[in-house]
Chains A and B, each alone.
Chain A
Amino acid sequence: MNSIELQQTLPEVFAGRDTIVSDVWHRQVAFQKGKMYLIEAASGTGKSSLCSFIYGYRTDYQGIITFDGVNVRKLTVKQWTDIRKRSLSMLFQELRLFPELTAWENVQLKNGLTGFCRKQQVKDWFEQLGIADKWDVKVGKMSYGQQQRVAFVRCLCQPADFFFLDEPVSHLDDGNGQIMARILKEEADRQGAGVIVTSIGKHLPLEYDRVLSL
């Protein structure tokens, strides 16, 4: 997948509003593979909606979203499954980890599906992010910041054309934010992937090609 395009897209809940000032809604926006984008948003501007539209688990929008020119509304279940496994990696704002599994099991669940990373690689990332001691700890017993890092590692465990990170550093200190940014950049460069990051305050410190405000 080389590009994600939004053509005049607008959440249906915004349809009644008279004026919308946004770089994304109701405009023509294209995200290219290999580039980095930051989407800055205030609360209530539809950031989570944007994520769910692009990731295909909500369809309550107007306009068109396309992957390489293909309308995502036309994708089959199988195509979506493939995209989520091979093309589009999402770090959800709400993380979507399984609290009853350990940190490693959570990562392994995804990695077992894609077979993308070696265990050592995952260990290295855990170490760099300072959560190596949480390897066998159930995610439910970890702090939100720690969980955010586990979810981040999990989203690296797949081949990707785009990494879509929804508020990845909301509960992280700057140090960890920088480590995360470095790892992300390495992975994105290695795969030639695009990066889309959203933020309502703290930014993941990267050299963005374009900053949009939602």
Chain B
Amino acid sequence: MIWKLLRQHISVAQLAGFFLANLCGMVIVLLSIQFYKDVLPVFTQGDSFMKKDYVIVSKKVSTLGSLVSKGGTFSKGDIADMEAQPFAKRTGAFTPAQFEVSAGMGMAGMQLSTAMFFESVPDEFVDVRLEGWTYREGQDEIPIIIPRNYLNLYNFGFAQSRNLPQLSEGVMGMMTLDVRISGKGRTERMKGRIVGFSNRLNTILVPQAFMNWANAAFGDGRDNAPSRLIVEVDNPADDRIAKYFKDRGYETEGDKLDAGKTTWFLKMVTGIVLTVGLIISVLSFYLLMLSIYLLLQKNTKKLENLLLIGFSPAAVARPYQVLTVALNAAVAVIGVLVVCVARGSYLDMLGRLVPDLEEGSLWPALLTAGVLFLVVSVLNVVAVRRKVDSIRVKK
């Protein structure tokens, strides 16, 4: 009955205007957040077996340094200083091999053999999920991670020019390398198995345990200072990192800091879009409030009469509150649906660009929609109630 009385003067056009405007704002806000969350991994994604946020640091190789053969190595003091930096969560050193390595591979009746080197980093920098990244003394087979570039170099350079078959990562993983290790007058033949390819580690990596054993067995006993450090950082986009490295004359390797820049631009663009969406949302919220206020104003006399014949302000305010909350809920639901559809189309494209991208969830959009819905609804409910109260106490 109250509703029948109060629904008069409701302007469908105004509410439709609010609805569309709010929907627009909502979709922009949700889509920008969802897009940001979906696309961010493209830039921050690392090798699947490596911890994500790390940088590899080396000293600049200078002409003078080359001449006096003063190596660009890190002293213990350098490492301690790096560890003390607030941005560095963990610091590890690359351990170079102190023995000679050559590896060969037989294929299609052709023997390829080359001198190589090994390096290792502490195992905690390699994700434990990587199976087979273990070495026990006496084990004949060495797990190896090589740069993906090497494979590309072979596939698109060497194999093409020699009419050799191209190799996939899977096939490479099945093949074994003949590894010859020599030092201290000893030589040992072992098998090498490629267990992973790295986009970012420009070295041939073996497990730390193997390196320790081999250095002890074949090495010349020198305690080589590391020439490269691997540093796990909180946030690669942190400008303190760049400043620290610049001050020390260190160089970083890998695309991590570039990714930081890209991420920053992504953040900025998303931020701008988000702001526009929020502004539209706020304006539409304002529109709804104006519309409801106008409605209340037109119905002032009725509201006053209802209050005077014994209706509580809460009961009188309720129809308007239900109306606004229902509208907000509809906007939130439709907004999420629209985002679902839009997301479907861009995910397709994203999937084609970056095939092994982890599928994100819809949670960011759902959560944002929920929060926006709650905030706007609470504000609406409170505003309507205050307006009704103002009618009650009118003198």
Contact = CB atoms under 8 A, between A and B. Distances in A.
Contacts of A101: 1, 4-5
B312 interface: yes
Interface residues of B, number: 18
Nearest to A90: B308
A81 interface: yes
A59 B392 CA distance: 12
A180 B392 CA distance: 31
Interface string B305-349: 110111111000000000000000000000000000000000000
A96 B302 CA distance: 8
B395 interface: yes
Interface residues of A, number: 26
A112 B309 CA distance: 12
Interface string A74-106: 000110010011000010100011101100010
B313 A110 contact: no
Contacts of B310: 81, 84-85, 110, 113-114, 158
Interface in A126-148: none
B8 interface: yes
B1 A109 contact: yes
Given A96-B309, A158-B310, A77 B392 contact: yes
Given A98-B302, A109-B2, A154 B308 contact: no
Interface string B21-63: 0000000000000000000000000000000000000000000
B3 to A, nearest CB: 11
A171 to B, nearest CB: 19
A72 to B, nearest CB: 14
Interface string B1-13: 1101100100000
Contact of B5 (A85, A92, A98, A113): A98
A150 to B, nearest CB: 13
A55 B5 CA distance: 23
Nearest to B313: A77
Nearest to A113: B310
Contacts of B395: 58-60
A51 B309 CA distance: 14
B304 to A, nearest CB: 8
Nearest to A60: B395
B5 A96 contact: no
Contacts of B304: 57
Interface of A: 55, 57-60, 77-78, 81, 84-85, 90, 92, 96-98, 100-101, 105, 108-110, 112-114, 154, 158
Interface of B: 1-2, 4-5, 8, 302, 304-306, 308-313, 389, 392, 395
